[in-house]
Amino acid sequence: MQITILGGGGFLGRKLAARLAKDGTLGGRPITGLTLFDLAAPKPLPAPFPLRCLGGDVADPAALAAAIPPGTGVVFHLAAVVSAAAEADYDLGMKVNIHGTLAVLQACRALGTKPRVVFTSSVASFGGGQEAVVPDDGRQVPTNSYGAQKAIGELLLQDASRKGFLDAVNIRLPTVMVRPGRPNKAASSFVSAIIREPLLGLSTDCPVPPEFAVWICSPRSTVEWFLHAATMDTAPLGLDRGINPPGRSATVAKLLEALEAVAGRTARDKVGFAFDKEVFDIVVGWPGSFEAKRARRLGFPEQEPLADLVRAFIEDDLEATKADRGL
Amino acid sequence: MQITILGGGGFLGRKLAARLAKDGTLGGRPITGLTLFDLAAPKPLPAPFPLRCLGGDVADPAALAAAIPPGTGVVFHLAAVVSAAAEADYDLGMKVNIHGTLAVLQACRALGTKPRVVFTSSVASFGGGQEAVVPDDGRQVPTNSYGAQKAIGELLLQDASRKGFLDAVNIRLPTVMVRPGRPNKAASSFVSAIIREPLLGLSTDCPVPPEFAVWICSPRSTVEWFLHAATMDTAPLGLDRGINPPGRSATVAKLLEALEAVAGRTARDKVGFAFDKEVFDIVVGWPGSFEAKRARRLGFPEQEPLADLVRAFIEDDLEATKADRGL
């Protein structure tokens, strides 16, 4: 089976690629090739199968045709301009998140072999705010351009699935934490920063109050969800290709408790609070919780407890993050 | 106030244009110019203000820039490839319904004056089928490409409203009946045909059974809704720019009763039943009814009774339809 990861140079793309390389198989079938595609060609990684690392624009049909060659069985479409960046630069968000997804649709359709497409939509495609517990048939009324663009991408791939051009599973990712690296342009960047920065020995300010609730998931769970979405029977989904996976609702206060439980009071005390209206105005519209019953029924696995999520970052990413940041 | 009607050569576009020409004003303000835009330049009509009739492709930015000149206060975006046509020709539907609406968005944004945009979305953007009574926060899970493309258009214009590029009201039109002219490529074409054809003295076959329920509205109500949407205060809409207007749920049997009440048994007997799977498979997914509470609260007027709807066709469109069809 040939696999392509669009956005293969990103945090989740690389974790997924490393997992595929470790397993060598997907759904019990040997992987015969992996293409990692991103704006800049991703760095190679050791793999037991041929690996291609391509750079290009996801909205460019020729680049995508190279990235999704005949014989591709699964496309992970993780390429996106994230929330605060899409809000700050509307045209860039439209180009990557809308025209990019249109190009992915056409590239997959051109294969004529109905590849599985695992698309990362987002909690940001929902409104409702802090008080919401979104049911599985909850309506997407986005409060930001990124969310609107993700909801549109879902509709495009869902209809293309109905037409038989491809076979999509649209996973509406919670806020993935703990992210390695540096704070980024995602409005939700702080959710990782309040754990990561203290573990690096650095101080950080949280832009929202302690009682603020976020719908989160771990990178480990996210990769499990990707693998499940890539191999599950899609017949039970029917027309509805959107999945609200079983994340976890956590307040900032609870996250800091977990940090303290794992890394002690000194780490906890590295986090201050400094209200940031620009960030708050984006994230305050996102729902604090989801029911996620359908995803559980469909076999998407649960989150680990919060303290394990902190430990997972220490095990998987702390050293590399220190090295990357020269700490 | 300058006004543009995209799809100004179509059935609803011409009814709207005639009404604007008759009134000479919109929301109490004098109309200073009207542009009718369609694939082929619409035929002129008598009007007390300057009228431009332009032909062009709605997905062509240059054509749209001409159709939506600086100073445009209201754009009615009715241009679309309809349901069965968008299902039969996916690429054409995508071009007009997606890329067309993207071009409308950019043309309106380029004005820098936040024009009101009245966009015709559709009942076809919902699934749920015959048994459904769609609540105002009902989720759009389209069962056809036309519906998916309309739901996407709504998301685009809704987010552009939030961004302050324009000020959209997205009206999800029921099946508009009675349409003049000939049967067309809309899967719902039969809903008008079972009234119109008998009134023209012609026989017709209904492709769905008598107990089949449709969510309908009259052309007169539709024009009233357009005018209301063009002039209403949009502040109470908040982020949610989608309107489920107060149509009426009617079975085929009830429609035929109304036909008989107005035009007698002879007219009623012109309608036979011949099941058409292709049409049925599209329309069976559309909901039979909506709650439409929010639209009523927002001042969108109610439908006339079914018999009045038949009479309205006789008054407004029967003679012209006869002439057009050489009857």
Query: Is A137 an 8 Å CB contact of chain B?
Result: yes
Residues B6, B140 share a domain: yes
Q: Are strands B51-55 and A289-290 parallel, antiparallel or unpaired?
A: unpaired
- Residue B185 above 80 pLDDT? no
- Give me the mean pLDDT over the A19-47 stretch: 98
Question: Which residue of B90, B137, B145 is in closest CB contact with A139?
Answer: B137
Residues B113, B206 share a domain: no
Which residue in the list B37, B126, B146, B290 is annotated as catalytic?
B146
**Looking at the domain assignment, is residue A96 inside a domain?**
yes
pLDDT number for residue B282: 84
Confidence of residue B182 (pLDDT cuts 50, 70, 90): confident
**Looking at the domain assignment, is residue A207 inside a domain?**
yes
**Closest of B80, B69, B35 to residue B55, by C-alpha:** B35
Rounded Cα distance, B320 and A253, in Å: 70
Confidence of residue A165 (pLDDT cuts 50, 70, 90): very high
Q: CATH no. for residue B128?
A: 3.40.50.720
- What the block records as the tokens of A292 is 């996620």
Which of A272-281, B108-117, B277-286 has maximum average pLDDT? B108-117
The single residue listed with the structure tokens 């349409």 is B179
In this structure, what is the dihedral angle of CA atoms A15, A20, A23, A25, given to the nearest 10 degrees? 160
- Cα distances from A63 to residues A30, A68, A100, A198, A238, in angstroms, run 26, 9, 11, 40, 32
Rounded Cα distance, B102 and B111, in Å: 15
- Give me the mean pLDDT over the A34-43 stretch: 98
pLDDT number for residue B100: 98
pLDDT in tens, B29-40: 999 999 999 999
**Looking at the domain assignment, is residue B181 inside a domain?**
no
Task: Report the percentage of chain A scoring pLDDT > 70.
Answer: 100
- Give me the mean pLDDT over the A277-287 stretch: 89
CA distance A168 to chain B (A): 14
Angle between helices A189-199 and A306-316 (to 10 degrees): 60
pLDDT in tens, B69-80: 999 999 999 999
- Give me the mean pLDDT over the A294-300 stretch: 98
Whether A64 contacts A5, CB under 8 Å: no
Beta bridge partners of B215: B249
CB contact under 8 A, A139 and B142: no
- What the block records as the tokens of B196 is 């119109």
Question: If you measure CA to CA, which chain B residue comes closest to A87?
Answer: B163
Task: Report the percentage of chain B scoring pLDDT > 70.
Answer: 100
**Looking at the domain assignment, is residue B183 inside a domain?**
no
Residues A45, A133 share a domain: yes
**Looking at the domain assignment, is residue B230 inside a domain?**
yes
Domain of residue A116, residue span: 2-174+219-243
Question: Which positions of A are annotated as active-site residues?
Answer: 146
Mean pLDDT for chain A overall: 96
Residues 162-221 of B with CB under 8 A from A: 162-163
pLDDT number for residue B265: 97
Q: Which residues from A are below 8 Å from B89, CB to CB? A: none
**Closest of A59, A41, A62 to residue A51, by C-alpha:** A41
Residues B125, B43 share a domain: yes
pLDDT number for residue B4: 98
- Residue A250 above 80 pLDDT? yes
E strand intervals along chain A = 2-6, 25-26, 29-30, 33-38, 51-55, 72-77, 116-122, 133-134, 167-173, 175-176, 204-206, 213-217, 242-243, 248-251, 271-273, 289-290
CA distance A213 to chain B (A): 22
Confidence of residue B157 (pLDDT cuts 50, 70, 90): very high
Residues A317, A239 share a domain: no
Confidence of residue B224 (pLDDT cuts 50, 70, 90): very high
CA distance B152 to chain A (A): 5
**Looking at the domain assignment, is residue B54 inside a domain?**
yes
Cα A102 to the chain's mean position, in Å? 19
pLDDT number for residue A181: 84
Question: Most A CBs within 10 Å: which of B97, B126, B141, B241, as the mutation test of the A interface?
Answer: B141
Sign, CA torsion A17/A19/A20/A26 = negative
pLDDT number for residue A187: 84
Residues B142, B33 share a domain: yes
Question: Which residue of B102, B143, B158 is in closest CB contact with A239?
Answer: B143
**Looking at the domain assignment, is residue A183 inside a domain?**
no
Query: Is B137 an 8 Å CB contact of chain A?
Result: yes
Query: Is B143 an 8 Å CB contact of chain A?
Result: yes
Domain boundary among B200, B227, B243: B243
Whether A148 contacts A121, CB under 8 Å: no
Confidence of residue A128 (pLDDT cuts 50, 70, 90): confident
Q: CATH no. for residue A210?
A: 3.90.25.10
pLDDT in tens, B284-323: 988 999 999 999 999 999 999 999 999 999 999 999 999 9
What is the spatial order of strands in the sheet that B167-173 belongs to? B51-55, B33-38, B2-6, B72-77, B116-122, B167-173, B242-243
Residues B252, B199 share a domain: yes
Residues A150, A194 share a domain: no
pLDDT number for residue A293: 98
- Give me the mean pLDDT over the A282-295 stretch: 93
- Give me the mean pLDDT over the A132-151 stretch: 95
pLDDT in tens, B230-271: 999 999 999 999 999 999 999 999 999 999 999 999 999 999
Residues A121, A226 share a domain: yes
- What the block records as the tokens of A20 is 């595929």
- Cα distances from B272 to residues A125, B71, B207, in angstroms, run 46, 51, 9
- Total of domains in chain A: 2
**Looking at the domain assignment, is residue A142 inside a domain?**
yes
Residues B224, B211 share a domain: no
Q: Which residues from A are below 8 Å from B104, CB to CB? A: none
Q: Which residues from B are below 8 Å from A145, CB to CB? A: 159, 162-163
Beta bridge partners of A38: A55
Residues A94, A20 share a domain: yes
Sign, CA torsion A211/A294/A171/A182 = positive
Rounded Cα distance, B240 and A126, in Å: 12
- Residue A282 above 90 pLDDT? no
- Give me the mean pLDDT over the B89-96 stretch: 98
Query: Is B22 an 8 Å CB contact of chain A?
Result: no
Question: If you measure CA to CA, which chain B residue comes closest to A106?
Answer: B91
Full 3-state SS string of chain B: CEEEEECCCCHHHHHHHHHHHHHCEECCEECCEEEEEECCCCCCCCCCCCEEEEECCCCCHHHHHHHCCCCEEEEEECCCCCHHHHHHCHHHHHHHHHHHHHHHHHHHHHHCCCCEEEEEEEHHHCCCCCCCEECCCCCCCCCCHHHHHHHHHHHHHHHHHHCCCCEEEEEEECEECCCCCCCCCCCCHHHHHHHHHHHCCCCEEECCCCCCEEEEECHHHHHHHHHHHHHCCCHHHCCCCEECCCCEEEEHHHHHHHHHHHHHHHHHCCEEECCCHHHHHHHCCCCCEECCHHHHHCCCCCCCCHHHHHHHHHHHCHHHHHHHCCC
**Per residue in A98-122, is it b (16+ CB within 10 Å) or e — as a string?**
bbbbbbbbbbbbebeebbbbbbbbb
Rounded Cα distance, A201 and A12, in Å: 24
Confidence of residue A84 (pLDDT cuts 50, 70, 90): confident
Sign, CA torsion B64/B65/B66/B71 = positive
CA distance B97 to chain A (A): 12
In the residue annotation, B90 being an active-site residue is answered as no
Residues A273, A227 share a domain: no
